[in-house]
Structure 1
Amino acid sequence: MAFASKKEDESGLSSYYNNKTTIIQEARVFNESPISPRKCRALLTRIVYLLYVGETFGTQEATTLFFGTTKLFQHKDSALRQMVYLAIKELATTSEDVIMVTSSIMKDMQPNSEVIYRPNSIRALCRIIDPSMAQGVERFFKAAIVDRNPSISSAALVSSYHLFPHAKDVVKRWVNEAQEAVGAKSSPSFFGTASNSSYLNFGTTSSQSNNGYQTIPSTSYITQYHALGLLYLIRQQDRMAVTKMIQQLGGGKSGAGTTLKNPMALCMLIRYAAKVMEDDPNVQKQMVDMLEGWLRHKSDMVNFEAARAICEMKHVAPAQLTKSIAVLQLFLSSPKPALKFAATRTLASLALLHPTSVATCNMDLENLITDSNRSVATYAITTLLKTGNEASVDRLMKQITGFMTEITDEFKVIIVDAIRSLCLKFPLKHVSMLTFLSGVLRDEGGYDFKRAVVEAIFDMIKFIGDCKEQALSHLCEFIEDCEFTKLSVRILHLLGMEGPKAPQPTKYIRFIYNRVVLENATVRAAAVSSLAKFGVNAADAGLRRSISVLLNRCLDDVDDEVRDRAALYLKTFKNEPLAVSYVKEESFFSLAALEAKLVTYVNDPSASAKAFDASSIPKISRAQAAQDVARPSTLDTIGVPASTRTSTTPPPPTAAETQSAYAQQLADVPELTGYGPVLNSTSKPVQLTETETEYQVTCVKHIFQEHVVFQFNVSNTLPDTVLEQVSVYMQPQPDSGLTEDFIIPIPSLTAPTSPSIGYVSYTRDSPEDYPVASFQCILRFVSKELDPSTGEPEAEGYEDEYQLEDVELSAGGDYIIPSYTTFDSEWKKLESGANATETFSLSAMESLKAACDSIIEVLNMEPLGGSQTPSSPSVHTLQLSGLVTGGGGKVLVRSRMTFTKGQGVTMELSVRAEKEAACNLVLAAVT
């Protein structure tokens, strides 16, 4: 048979046998009389196989096959009936008039039908019924959920889970049955007991015991797992209900009295408890007591899940980790590889935050370095690198060296990242670590692995000055054989930044010029830029002449980018202002902000008469640009409250990307088209409601030249209620300098949907001034209940309102844009401009770090030179830079602070700006 099968594959008979056209032609076997169960099962298997491998049937083809398949309901063969249900579930998505077979399926759902038919019929019915028909089958589902047979109950629960998004109101009424399924003990028989009226026929004769049927014992209690998932799905919008469910099913503080017997159900309950703790810290102590009780459960799965949940808690104290780490330490000596892998991975993550607590496991972890499972050994070594002391570094590095050739690139990256953090922890051990990194850099590996090694060396150059020269030499040797263009370009850029500062800069030039001769156009262009930095920053005139000779040779390059760069840099050698602007300058425009301004300029008909103004575009440092990564669309995350983001939510966009997205969003509002370009938008929405309230409202402020627009993102969390004519009414304080224009309401708001947006517009009475005001806000709407049967809102509703938090239009955060610059040079340039100095006493501040964070938040300016982190606990100088909207120009702040315990922070704030109004704006923000 094996030989025949091989010949069949070689001759292509298999592809013909499973061909869609052939199968449709052979479907006439469904119409034969009498029906041949064997032939029909074989054909149904081929149909399902085609669907699983990605083949698609047209609507007419699928409908023909679907109704041909349903004719097989006439036959009582149980194996054939199972294949029928499997086929109609897959064909139902593309067939027409599938609801016509509902009656045939519901016959198999009856309590007196064969028990093997009922679970399959329930799953099939869930796939084909229309959501409006859910109420008609409610009686069948309720009965099936509480059925004594676990297979029937589980099928009904899983089907209800999939039906919930389409018929929420109906499925919510099954909560009592789901609760009963969670609490009820599963029967000792998976397919029924001898006392049950339905049994599974295994083809035995009627003379056998139990009426010719057998029972299969089961103690898995899998129904509890499915029922718990359905209960959480129904209650997930109600945090109090979820908390109560966990408390009831958890069995008290020790967790010993729980009614849950299924380990997977307990693991799911633990994950729900962890989520509740994250959302509501007030219940953390109670939940931790419950989790610690599950650390003693008889199931390893439950033990590990509880230990992991405790280890991953936010702000967990070291004392709370003792029991969890003890459980994980026991797993380290387990004979099961899965348990050892899970324990070592969890300890590796925990070691980042609590290395001292994890250090108690070091002895067991060292025994795992030689484990046959290299994944376990990798995490063991990673954890030891994070928890070990300085004396153990050399010994670990020797063990790792022979270990690296035996693992995949994925685990190599994990080890390199651990060494990268170890370099900063023990800088005196940089020699052995740099030797190790340079060694693995020469080994075979993919891009991700090589990038991780290069990043680690970059960090050593940045933070450990003693190893800079040696590290640069290793990178020079690496680019001689580097096959990754991105890495070569990054290394060449670093050589251009750090090489001219080295004691012997000339030794790097040979490596850089080799790239001009041997590499592709992208690398050659980067090499030209790197050479130019040596020439511009060279103190020796002879070195500059040598660089000029090399760049002149590049003028004959076949690539225009290389030629243009060489010509540009040769020009800068003769013109010092050009060299400062194009080579020495460490900041440049934010590309996202520049793009948004250019798009606005091009689309504005009146803008063509005037030159493009780049003075209002914020700048970023080269370090920020180097760390830039691919991000999701900003419009997808705008207005989403922080409380609703999960661990899987993509990272938030940068401030410049947010500004660009808001500009695009506002351009689509007809009422705002005449306002001109938006000057600034708050990058972080302000929360105006508590996270657990039924209405979620956030506010974003948009500053225009002559207007201020308030954007309100409103979410309705009540599933049975529709809000209509939703608007926010704002009451400014007297003499605010603002006049209300109009309100754009939200026509309708249902739940659960993404936030809908409403606007309130104000005119600035004096566009050259910067109005500061506080607004009282009220959310007003018409509330209408949903009809459970139709899902439509009732005709009559009632007007209601909801008090929101006040909205502040602040001096700093709303009118100033962070912008990078070189502080010392710009501070001198603004010496003749507007300047002011004030002294403030910040008695409430408990440290200089807290004072720095508060000032940065209030002024919304860019901290320069790492000055946001004080290097001394008593004295510090904070340097800030920003741009004032509406042509206010540059503004710089130098804040000299001293901290005295018991008296707080005393601050001398000096401001320099291009215009007096900008200077006064900063002082007003701090005051």
Structure 2
Amino acid sequence: MAFASKKEDESGLSSYYNNKTTVIQEARVFNDTPVSPRKCRALLTRIVYMIYVGETFGTQEATTLFFGTTKLFQNKDSALRQAVYLAIKELATTAEDVIMVTSSIMKDMQANSDVIYRPNAIRALCRIIDPSMAQGVERFFKAAIVDRNPAISTAALVSAYHLFPFAKDVVKRWVNEAQEAVNAKSSSSFFGSSSSGGGGYLGFGAGSNQPSGPQAIQSSSYIAQYHALGLLYLIRQQDRMAVTKMIQQLGGGKSGAGTTLKNPIALCMLIRYAAKVIEEDPNVQRQMIELLEGWLRHKSDMVNYEAARAICELKHVQPQQLTKSIAVLQLFLSSPKPVLKFAATRTLAALALNHPQAVATCNVDLEGLIADSNRSVATYAITTLLKTGNEASVDRLIKQITGFMAEISDEFKVIIVDAVRSLCLKFPSKHSSMLTFLSGVLRDEGGYDFKRAVVEAMFDMIKYIGDSKEQALSHLCEFIEDCEFTKLSVRILHLLGLEGPKSPQPAKYIRFIYNRVVLENATVRAAAVTSLAKFGVNSAEVGLKRSISVLLRRCLDDVDDEVRDRAALYLKVFKEKPLADAYVKEESVFSLAALEAKLVAYVKDPSASSEPLDVSSVPKISRAQAAQEAARPSSLDTIGAPIAKSTSPAPQAPTAAEKQSAYAQQLAEVPEFAPYGTILNSTATPAQLTESETEYQVTCVKHIFKEHIVFQFNVSNTIPDTVLEQVSVIMTPQDEEIGLTEDFIIPLPSLTSASSPGIVYVSFTRENPTQYTIGSFGCTLKFISKELDPTTQEPEEEGYEDEYQVEDVELSAGGDYIIPSYATFGSEWDRMRSGPSATETFLLGAMESLKAACDSIVEVLNMEPLGGSEVPTSDSVHTLQLSGLATGGGGKVLARCRMTYSRGTGVTIELGVRAEKQEVCDLVVAAIA
């Protein structure tokens, strides 16, 4: 063994297995007479291993190996035959003419074949056959699915998964066989080999002690039920009622005792299906929760936990419905199995975000896990305690956390820091001890993600807890002295430039900032220069401004041109107040994407060339938002009609300004809209007019022009083998005096499930362009439905006219006529004091908290919340500040919502609005009313 280890160190197994040329040359052993099963198995093992580790074979190479491997079908060695199937299954995706071995594989699929060959043959056949051949082998798969041998049944069921995307109609006919596999009462099977040279299940090892003849082994795993249930759901997933009925039939009633599912994994899958049904259809929540609670008493810990987790993760679950689930998780907390403790603490930590009082019953058990040897369990236990604890226990918990922060990974450190950040906002009076803890862990070793989490926590404390500002800024100044991450240094310097001049002693931060100019790289030096300039402009001390000018002059000799240019700019700015107000004091900038769209529309509009560009309608964003607005490619696919599900990663969501630009580009390609001019606004989020699981899916986007309104309906057809022709949307206003006149409809000529989605446009003329039209429209989808010929995929000549009722479309005050735009609220509110205004008082009795009221108002008005006012710092009193731009030359609009909350009454709001036009004030008030 010592010699083998030394040899492995010299050459390495990797070079042996990954040498593709050697493997191809050694493939001649397949042609030897007689064939050596041992050599062939060893070579096949290397081929499969190379494929598994990512090695790729060319088409010609794969074809040569594939047909060389198929020659081994004549050998009677069962272990070799299994290796052959494994190899051809992997090579079939690259090799050519693989369909030629179909007859050999189907021979081993026969019911009278040796039982050890059949599962391998089934798995290989689904990779070999063409989708058009699925119907020809249907009887073989049907027989295999209901076979009493679980290896054969499971192989057929899993192969059906692979065939389903290509031969849906064929696989859907196997539903009865899949149902029979689910209801199977026995699971006996035969394993073994009829060859004296047989190896294990994969057959790669010779000389093993396997019996020479078949040996009956009784299996109690019922694993075929798991695969059969998955196939049944795959077939029925578009029919929510069928899925609900299947869950109820297999659930076995309220207690779960009568279920036919014996396999715990199958039961876990059924529980996940039940949770998904509840999410899609809240009407069945009560009966589904009864089923889930029945599984809480199952004999399998796996099923108990899955049911408890499913109930805890429901979106609209009530606290009283969590009692039984939390009791099960509490039992797991005292389990000797670490995996159960970890699962229970992680679930309780997630649940504590929304239902801390319900989880508080487990606090005694969680405190006992703080000293658990498994630090992952201890981390989640402390995280949960931080979310559920009271103000009196904060200091004790912080001391316990400090003791083991050095023993856990960065991933769990981030979790704890996030919990501490939430605790800071919950108990502002304890900010001192929590800041001390955060500053301590900031000095510890850690990666970027961990340090960023700590810095973000301090930023939030500065933003929402005024008393913590001085202490937090001091800790951040100490941190940047030794900070190794450029991004964090730049962000901290930016914050110091914003908050430092407002502090009682701004001069104490200058030393820390100027040290960065002397000691750091060019990026940090440039940020430090900008931060110094903000102190010079915003500070009232003449001596401080003179000192900063001296420091900036030293920067004129910097080796980096960016640092020199910034220093020169700010020295010039110091001498002229208008420049200082525009380039340093101003906290907002134009959204680059919105400004670009405005410029493009101005250049393309021939009638606008005689007039100067008006940027008053371009929304603004804060400088912090501008820093985060990265250059991302706009994609119509991400903002247009709904797209089919894909396994590829989801694209990063575009910003609101990018969506506006993309919509403008999309509408510019429609000739009928060319005379309409520049688009003023488009709704950022398409309104869903149908359920997500219906056969036709429709969303609506509204485009506002100066004299027109265009409704864009994104339509998807999910019914296969059906084409919709002459697709249009009929809109009927609920109010005849709405002030809109329909111009025309641009229908969709043809729509299939493959070509989905498509777009239907409906255009209206605004009778009074200065008036903000508000109203509702009833909508009906009209089309001619035709069947597709299964062979030619051409639509039949005759079809039938049909209608499909969808949800109403509303023109609302905020989302359609107001664009979010950043502003400095205090100065702008005072400036607009003498202009048009409106004040009203409202009672929102349905709101359960100030946070819910803030979220609702921001959504309805579609305005930009300022200064972090969207997050209340008190449970009883709060002021929400909002800013926006009204379309059609309406100008700026500000709203101030003073709110009070009392239990039983709800949220009382005093809404104050100031705008440049009275019509805009009335619009905002009408939106809340």
Q: Do these two structures clear the TM 0.5 threshold for a shared fold by scoring above it?
A: yes
Residues 1:136 and 2:129 aligned together = no
Residue matched to 1:885: 887
Paired residues of 2:195 and 2:212 also in contact (CA < 8 A): no
Deviation at 1:512, TM superposition (A): 0.4
The amino acid across from 2:256 in the alignment is: G
Deviation at 1:394, TM superposition (A): 2.7
Deviation at 1:9, TM superposition (A): 5.8
Residue matched to 1:48: 48
Range 524-533 or range 692-701, more displaced:
692-701
Q: 2: distance between equivalents of 1:538 and 1:370?
A: 50
Residue matched to 1:723: 724
Deviation at 1:914, TM superposition (A): 3.5
Change (3 A) 1:853 1:157: closer
Deviation at 1:607, TM superposition (A): 6.2
Paired residues of 1:525 and 1:565 also in contact (CA < 8 A): yes
Residues 1:88 and 2:81 aligned together = no
Deviation at 1:3, TM superposition (A): 2.3
Residue matched to 2:535: 534
Residue matched to 1:807: 809
Residue matched to 1:194: none
The amino acid across from 1:119 in the alignment is: P
Range 88-97 or range 617-626, more displaced:
617-626
Residue matched to 1:203: 196
The amino acid across from 2:884 in the alignment is: G
Range 799-808 or range 336-345, more displaced:
799-808
| Matched position secondary structure for 2:76 | coil
Residues 1:124 and 2:117 aligned together = no
Residues 1:759 and 2:761 aligned together = yes
Gaps of 5+ in 1: 192-198
Paired residues of 1:169 and 1:788 also in contact (CA < 8 A): no
| Matched position secondary structure for 2:517 | helix
Paired residues of 2:17 and 2:49 also in contact (CA < 8 A): no
Paired residues of 1:200 and 1:215 also in contact (CA < 8 A): no
Range 727-736 or range 326-335, more displaced:
727-736
Paired residues of 2:837 and 2:912 also in contact (CA < 8 A): yes
What do the CA deviations read for 1:780-808 (whole angstroms, capped 9, x no partner)? Answer: 11212345567654443212122333333
Q: 2: distance between equivalents of 1:88 and 1:326?
A: 51
Residue matched to 1:819: 821
Change (3 A) 1:476 1:900: closer
| Matched position secondary structure for 2:189 | coil
Deviation at 1:162, TM superposition (A): 1.3
Range 654-663 or range 852-861, more displaced:
852-861
| Matched position secondary structure for 1:370 | coil
Aligned residues: 917
Paired residues of 2:714 and 2:757 also in contact (CA < 8 A): yes
Paired residues of 2:840 and 2:910 also in contact (CA < 8 A): yes
Give the counterpart of 1:749 among 745, 751, 772: 751
Deviation at 1:570, TM superposition (A): 2.1
Residues 1:385 and 2:386 aligned together = yes
Q: 2: distance between equivalents of 1:613 and 1:6?
A: 78
Q: 2: distance between equivalents of 1:389 and 1:911?
A: 39
Deviation at 1:347, TM superposition (A): 1.5
Change (3 A) 1:57 1:181: same
Q: 1: distance between equivalents of 2:719 and 2:335?
A: 48
Change (3 A) 1:541 1:211: closer
Q: 2: distance between equivalents of 1:276 and 1:505?
A: 58
Change (3 A) 1:827 1:469: closer
| Matched position secondary structure for 1:801 | strand
Change (3 A) 1:356 1:643: farther
Residue matched to 1:336: 337
Change (3 A) 1:362 1:650: farther
Deviation at 1:270, TM superposition (A): 0.7
Deviation at 1:513, TM superposition (A): 0.4
Q: 2: distance between equivalents of 1:18 and 1:860?
A: 59
Residue matched to 1:146: 146
Matches within 5 A, 1:130-279: 130-189=130-189, 191=191, 200-201=193-194, 203=196, 212-279=213-280
What do the CA deviations read for 1:589-640 (whole angstroms, capped 9, x no partner)? Answer: 2233234334545666776665543221111234555777999966444356
Deviation at 1:159, TM superposition (A): 0.5
Matches within 5 A, 1:279-358: 279-358=280-359
Paired residues of 1:639 and 1:698 also in contact (CA < 8 A): no
Matches within 5 A, 1:412-811: 412-601=413-602, 611-622=612-623, 624=625, 635-639=636-640, 653-669=654-670, 671-672=672-673, 675-691=676-692, 693-732=694-733, 734=736, 738-751=740-753, 755-764=757-766, 770-772=772-774, 774-787=776-789, 793-811=795-813
Paired residues of 1:356 and 1:387 also in contact (CA < 8 A): yes
The amino acid across from 1:881 in the alignment is: S
Deviation at 1:96, TM superposition (A): 1.6
Change (3 A) 1:911 1:105: same
Residue matched to 1:97: 97
Range 11-20 or range 561-570, more displaced:
11-20
| Matched position secondary structure for 1:683 | coil
Change (3 A) 1:735 1:528: same
| Matched position secondary structure for 1:579 | helix
Deviation at 1:209, TM superposition (A): 14
The amino acid across from 1:559 in the alignment is: D
Deviation at 1:337, TM superposition (A): 1.5
The amino acid across from 1:214 in the alignment is: Q
Q: 2: distance between equivalents of 1:400 and 1:704?
A: 58
Range 654-663 or range 115-124, more displaced:
654-663
Deviation at 1:397, TM superposition (A): 2.4
Q: 1: distance between equivalents of 2:242 and 2:386?
A: 44
| Matched position secondary structure for 1:700 | strand
What do the CA deviations read for 1:675-697 (whole angstroms, capped 9, x no partner)? Answer: 44422101122222345543221
Gaps of 5+ in 2: 199-208
Q: 2: distance between equivalents of 1:804 and 1:817?
A: 27
| Matched position secondary structure for 2:816 | coil
Residue matched to 1:195: none
Deviation at 1:366, TM superposition (A): 2.3
What do the CA deviations read for 1:726-747 (whole angstroms, capped 9, x no partner)? Answer: 2223345656555545433334
What do the CA deviations read for 1:543-577 (whole angstroms, capped 9, x no partner)? Answer: 11111111121122222222222222223322223
Change (3 A) 1:738 1:504: same
Paired residues of 2:840 and 2:925 also in contact (CA < 8 A): no
Residue matched to 2:206: none
Q: 1: distance between equivalents of 2:397 and 2:903?
A: 43
| Matched position secondary structure for 1:757 | strand
Range 55-64 or range 517-526, more displaced:
55-64
Deviation at 1:767, TM superposition (A): 5.0
Q: 2: distance between equivalents of 1:451 and 1:389?
A: 27
Paired residues of 1:708 and 1:764 also in contact (CA < 8 A): yes
Give the counterpart of 1:861 among 847, 860, 863: 863
What do the CA deviations read for 1:448-496 (whole angstroms, capped 9, x no partner)? Answer: 1111111122222223333322221111111011000011011111111
Paired residues of 1:839 and 1:906 also in contact (CA < 8 A): no
What do the CA deviations read for 1:263-300 (whole angstroms, capped 9, x no partner)? Answer: 10011011111111111122112111211111111111
Change (3 A) 1:845 1:470: closer
Q: Please, what is the CA RMSD of the aligned residues?
A: 3.5
Deviation at 1:80, TM superposition (A): 1.4
Range 749-758 or range 694-703, more displaced:
749-758
Q: 2: distance between equivalents of 1:855 and 1:402?
A: 44
Change (3 A) 1:462 1:294: same
Residue matched to 2:204: none
Paired residues of 2:148 and 2:189 also in contact (CA < 8 A): no
Q: 2: distance between equivalents of 1:190 and 1:743?
A: 67
